[in-house]
Amino acid sequence: MEIRFEDLIERTRQTLESVCRFIAMDFHPAMLQYHEHAAERLKEHKERRLADGTVVVTREQRLRNQELATRPPDPARVAAWRSAMTPAEQAEFAKHAQDALRLFGYEF
């Protein structure tokens, strides 16, 4: 099963219900309130280290990376990359990802 990020964000319930049907799992409305408990779950994060003890990702970096998990889906985030990336970054991304973007019906 493939789902689009846009569908998950803009039609969260319907998309989750579809995923649940696909994996033969009951949908529960609490799935829509994940963000209400995310802060507590994120407290479990620790830094990531290599076998030699070198820190790869600090706990603070992990928490910053997952900050949006503490909020409900925000449709404004769907195209946020367009304002977060410079035109040069967008062009570089498109150069490497254009085949996949076309395949999945994304404009670039």
pLDDT digits (tens, 9 = 90+) for 93-105: 989 999 998 898 8
Instruction: Answer whether 13's CB lies under 8 Å from 32's CB.
Output: yes
Among the listed residues 94, 62, 70, 76, the one whose alpha carbon sits nearest the alpha carbon of residue 6: 76
Measured distance CA(108)–CA(89) in Å, rounded = 12
The pair of structure tokens assigned to 58 is: 């600090």
Burial class (CB in 10 A: 0-12, 13-18, 19+), 101: middle
Give the angle 62-86-77 at the CA atoms, nearest 5°. Answer: 55
Residues of the chain with pLDDT under 50: none
Strands (E), the chain: 48-49, 55-57
Task: Give residue 62's pLDDT.
Answer: 87
Residue spans per domain, the chain: 1-33, 37-73, 78-108
DSSP type of residue 57: E
Task: Give residue 79's pLDDT.
Answer: 82
Task: Give residue 39's pLDDT.
Answer: 83
